């Protein structure tokens, strides 16, 4: 009898100490990949039907339930006899935490929840090239025409989950520059060619972006406006001049319109400026009016 009691107590202790755990990918998750996260008990005898997923965007201070029938962001939740599985698509903005929570009445916090599991998504956006005088929205052309003796400074950048490593190289040459910024001083014909910048993610080898630009060095006697910077100055000046002409034209039009409106209306009839008429006044009413009562 004592042996049976000891066994029963051991079983109860084991059941009460069964742990709810959460599991996810052990390798880096790249944006766009499908991810599976699962909840399960260390003891398979426990019922997983009363377990749900929760997620948080602020390091676990506020948690939200993941509904099994939710279609938000292509979330899919399904159950097996031993597991609760969450399948989702990893996006660059999904820097979130997940946990498993039991709804069983005999389990209370903090024993009713698993340890949080953080989903970190590795990503890298397209590479962009920038040059002084060009905004990131305008961008730089694929071909840069420069005058001999000019300096060329180009910078490449990419939005990434980790700071990428950058390097420049010239096509057909073993020239290599391990930097995000390439600076060519006093360019000459020897500097002409196709230059490429490559950004490499430090953790995921497959995350690599590349962008190229061709540098053309003009002849010594080429007009200044044939260079890329010269054309930019011309376009900017033309845009400013067109805007000034438009503003001047609108101002002249509005002034003429206001003047014409005043001419059509004529002078304002101000009754307050009229003098009163007295009986003995030279400005009294004519006798033909036959007014027998004085006005004042």
Pairing of strands 143-146, 208-217: parallel
Q: Say which DSSP state 286 is in.
A: P
For the CA atoms of 280, 283, 286, 292, the dihedral, rounded to the nearest 10 degrees, stands at: -40
Q: Global pTM?
A: 0.64
CB 45 within 8 A of CB 64: no
User: In a 3-state reduction of DSSP, which class is residue 164?
Assistant: coil
Fold of 18-122: Immunoglobulin-like (2.60.40)
Q: What is the pLDDT at residue 160?
A: 92
Partnered with residue 129 across adjacent β-strands are 156
Find the distance separating the first CA and the last CA of the chain, reported in whole Å.
131
Q: Say which DSSP state 25 is in.
A: -
CATH of domain 128-223: 2.60.40.10
- State the Cα–Cα distance between residues 53 and 38, nearest whole angstrom: 9
Binned average pLDDT, 10 residues per bin, the chain of 296 residues: 42 57 89 90 76 83 80 75 87 78 76 87 91 73 88 92 94 91 92 94 93 89 70 73 87 85 66 56 53 54
Phi-psi region of 165 (alpha: psi -120 to 50; beta: other; left: phi over 0): beta
Q: What is the pLDDT at residue 244?
A: 87
CB 212 within 8 A of CB 142: yes
Q: What is the pLDDT at residue 95?
A: 66
CATH 2.60.40.10 in the chain is located at 18-122, 128-223
């Amino acid at each position: 009898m004592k042996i049976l009691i000891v066994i029963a107590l051991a079983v109860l202790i084991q059941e009460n100490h069964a742990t709810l755990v959460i599991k996810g990918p052990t390798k880096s998750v790249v944006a766009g990949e499908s991810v599976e996260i699962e909840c399960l008990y260390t003891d398979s005898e426990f019922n997983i039907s009363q377990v749900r997923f929760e997620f948080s965007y602020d390091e676990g201070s506020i948690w939200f339930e993941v509904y099994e029938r939710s279609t938000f962001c292509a979330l899919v939740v399904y159950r097996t006899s031993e597991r609760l599985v969450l399948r989702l698509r990893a996006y660059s903005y999904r820097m979130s935490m997940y946990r498993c929570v039991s709804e069983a009445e005999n389990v209370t916090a903090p024993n009713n929840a698993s340890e949080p599991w953080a989903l970190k998504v590795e990503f890298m956006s397209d590479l962009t090239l920038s040059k002084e005088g060009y905004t990131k929205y305008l961008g730089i052309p694929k071909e840069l025409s420069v005058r001999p003796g000019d300096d060329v400074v180009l910078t490449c950048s990419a939005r990434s989950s980790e700071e990428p490593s950058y390097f420049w190289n010239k096509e057909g040459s073993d020239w290599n520059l391990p930097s995000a910024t390439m600076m060519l001083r006093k360019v000459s014909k020897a500097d002409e060619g196709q230059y490429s910048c490559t950004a490499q993610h430090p953790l995921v080898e497959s995350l690599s972006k590349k962008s190229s630009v061709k540098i053309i060095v003009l002849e010594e006697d080429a007009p200044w406006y044939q260079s890329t910077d010269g054309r930019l100055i011309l376009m900017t000046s033309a845009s400013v001049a067109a805007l000034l002409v438009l503003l001047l034209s609108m101002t002249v039009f509005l002034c003429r319109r206001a003047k014409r409106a005043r001419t059509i209306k004529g002078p304002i009839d101000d009754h307050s400026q009229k003098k009163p008429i007295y009986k003995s006044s030279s400005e009294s009413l004519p006798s033909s009016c036959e007014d027998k009562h004085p006005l004042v």
